[in-house]
Amino acid sequence: MYCAAKSTIERMNESLLTINVIVADRCFPIHIRREEEEKIREAVKHVNELILRFKEKYPAGADSKISTADYIAMAAVQIALKYVKLKEAKDINLFAGEIDNISKELEDYLKSEE
């Protein structure tokens, strides 16, 4: 899919720019911070790969009611699930870190009392 003016990046100001990205064969101009461009392009690539995998796994036939929106929705759920799992793991790690800190403080306190 070709996106009109895909290669053009309009300068909005020193920190913002507009880029065109293609998701599910549709072109979207988005305004981003310059330092996020690479990550956004990587994210868009990941979304398109997920959509393609769902299209391959659940092909839409002539009598199928599966639409592009359905594939996008399935990809969104997959990405949201990964986000929830990562957030949960981060919360657990933060909690474990706090327990380690408290444990060390307790050990230090007990040693100082000896």
Q: Is residue 93 in a domain? A: yes
Q: Is residue 107 in a domain? A: yes
Asked if 78 and 57 count as a contact pair (C-beta separation under 8 A), the reply is: no
pLDDT tens digit sequence for 37-62: 999 999 999 999 999 999 999 998 87
What's the token pair of residue 64? 């199928």
Is the pLDDT assigned to residue 108 strictly greater than 90? no
Q: Domain residues for 102?
A: 10-113
Number of domains in the chain: 1
Residue % of the chain over a pLDDT of 70: 87
Asked if 41 and 17 count as a contact pair (C-beta separation under 8 A), the reply is: no
Q: Is residue 76 in a domain? A: yes
Bridge partners (DSSP) of residue 21 are 28
What's the token pair of residue 31? 């305004």
Q: Is residue 4 in a domain? A: no
